[in-house]
Amino acid sequence: MAATTVPEKSSRRHAGRPVGQPDGTQHRSGLSRKVRSNIQAYGFLIGAIVCFGFFSWYPMVREFIMSFQRTKRGVTTWVGFDNLKQVYHDPYFWTAWRNTLQFTVYALIIGFIVPFFVAILLNELRHAQAYLRILVYLPVMLPPVAGVLLFKYFYNPEYGLFNHILKTLHLPTSQWLDSSHTAMISVVIAATWMSMGSATLIYLAALQNIPGELYEAADLDGAGLFSKIWHVTIPQTRMVLSLMLLLQIVATMQEFTNVYLLTGGNGPENSTTTVVYMVYQYAFRYNNFGSAAALGLFLLLVLAGFSGLYSRLSRNSD
């Protein structure tokens, strides 16, 4: 690989023709040598590129094109920004964004913090850590639909487990999924329970990489539990935390499965209509793939904004 490095750098400086290579023959033979030497790597790459191209990039290109098209009577026409305008003026456009942001915020408060503290707790345990790790991870192994059905039963206002517990404790019961006030938080609780195992294990791995000397030094300085978490644990796991934060924002803003299965999508008085559920409705209920693609484009732009922000923040912090 070292032999190829010099001409590459030269080629950058001299706009395409490497120093010492006055004609294309030598250049081509250099290239061919390079291809030959990397042939195995290219071979391994082909499968991934074909898969990504066919299942990710092509649909993305297609989605972008479709967001400017409309099909009526089998005839597809270019409609400029009409689809974008239509979804923007949809009566539920802002409702869906508000709900999506609400889900994301709740999911961050509950789904981001809880697994982190569970990981800290597991890390501090000296006994039965392996068993508890399995227990925490078990819900992830449960098929999502089975988990959702379980929570549907737990949340039933008449015979569900949660209201039964509340009644036993002489506390007021809740309508859970059947009230616009509690539907979204109920979905977040179920979603967090089903997915927190993976996040917990990732945090746990990061925690176990923190050198014990740092805590000892903190002890000598007289730091308490929260002081140690704030000044040692969080800074030492900052990279993992920020990566998980971004992944969680991207994942939660695409929430569909849990709201679709738990509340039927819209929920009481549209309290759980998310942007992705609205995309689904446009495509598969209204047969309007142009507007579905346009709404998807809005979401893509927002998520790209978050990713850009993350990239900028992580560069600055480096």
Partner 1 sequence: MSRIGYRRLVAVALVAGIGLASAACSSDDKKDDPGTKSSSSSSSAGTPLDPKTKVSITVDCEPPTTKKAERQQWIDDVAEFNKTYPNVTINSKDAFPCEDPAKFTAQLQGSSQADTFYTYMTDLQQVLDAGQAEDISAYVNDKTVPNLKDIDPNVLNVLKDGGKLYGLPTSNYEMGLIYNRKIFADAGLDPNKPPTTWDEVRQDAKVIQDKLGSKGIHGFIENAGGNQGGWHFTSELYGLGGTMVDDSGKKATFNDDNAKTLLTTLHDMRWTDNSMPATPGKEWGDVQKAMGTGQVGMYVGAPDDIPLVVQQYKADYKNLGMAPIPGGKTSLFGGNDYMFKKGSSPDQIKAGIAWINFKFLTPGKGQFNYTRNKTDGLPVGLPEPFFFTGASKDKDNQLKAASATIPVDNFKTYVDTQVPVKPEPPNAQKIYTVLDTVMSGVLTNKGADIDKLLSTAESQVNSLLAASQ
Instruction: Find tokens 């920020």 and name the residue.
Output: 242
Exactly one of 186, 248, 266, 274 binds partner 1 (CB under 8 A); that residue is 266
Nearer to partner 1, 71 or 227 (CB): 71
Q: What angle do CA 21, 26, 27 make, to 5 degrees?
A: 75
179-238: contacts with partner 1 (CB under 8 A): 179-180
Instruction: Find tokens 């004609």 and name the residue.
Output: 23
Nearer to partner 1, 173 or 242 (CB): 173
Site stretch for partner 1 (CB under 8 A), options 103-111, 157-165, 225-233, 310-318: 157-165
Residue 71 phi/psi, 5-degree rounding, is -110, 120
Exactly one of 126, 127, 158, 220 binds partner 1 (CB under 8 A); that residue is 158
Task: In whole angstroms, give the CA distance from residue 191 to residue 126.
Answer: 29
Task: In whole angstroms, give the CA distance from residue 146 to residue 236.
Answer: 37
- 33 near partner 1, rule: CB under 8 A: no
- 37 near partner 1, rule: CB under 8 A: no
Exactly one of 22, 211, 224, 264 binds partner 1 (CB under 8 A); that residue is 264
Q: Give the nearest distance from C-beta 48 to partner 1 in angstroms.
A: 12
Task: In whole angstroms, give the CA distance from residue 210 to residue 227.
Answer: 16
Question: Concatenated DSSP letters for 59-87?
Answer: HHHHHHHHTTEEEETTEEEE-TTHHHHHH
Q: Give the nearest distance from C-beta 229 to partner 1 in angstroms.
A: 41
CB–CB of 253/303 below 8 Å? yes
Which residues face 70 on adjacent strands?
77
CB–CB of 99/272 below 8 Å? yes
Beta-carbon contacts of 289 under 8 Å, excluding residues fewer than 6 positions away, are: 66, 71, 282, 283
- 131 near partner 1, rule: CB under 8 A: no
Q: Give the nearest distance from C-beta 245 to partner 1 in angstroms.
A: 29
- 21 near partner 1, rule: CB under 8 A: no
79-98: contacts with partner 1 (CB under 8 A): 86, 89-92
Per-residue mark of binding to partner 1, 50-79 (x: CB under 8 A): ---x---xx--xx--x---x-xxxxxx---
Q: Give the nearest distance from C-beta 314 to partner 1 in angstroms.
A: 21
Task: In whole angstroms, give the CA distance from residue 200 to residue 193.
Answer: 11
- Identify the DSSP state of 148: H
Q: In the complex, which residues of this chain contact partner 1 (CB under 8 A)?
A: 4-5, 8, 11-12, 34, 38, 49, 53, 57-58, 61-62, 65, 69, 71-76, 86, 89-92, 156-159, 175, 177-180, 263-270, 280-281, 283-287, 289
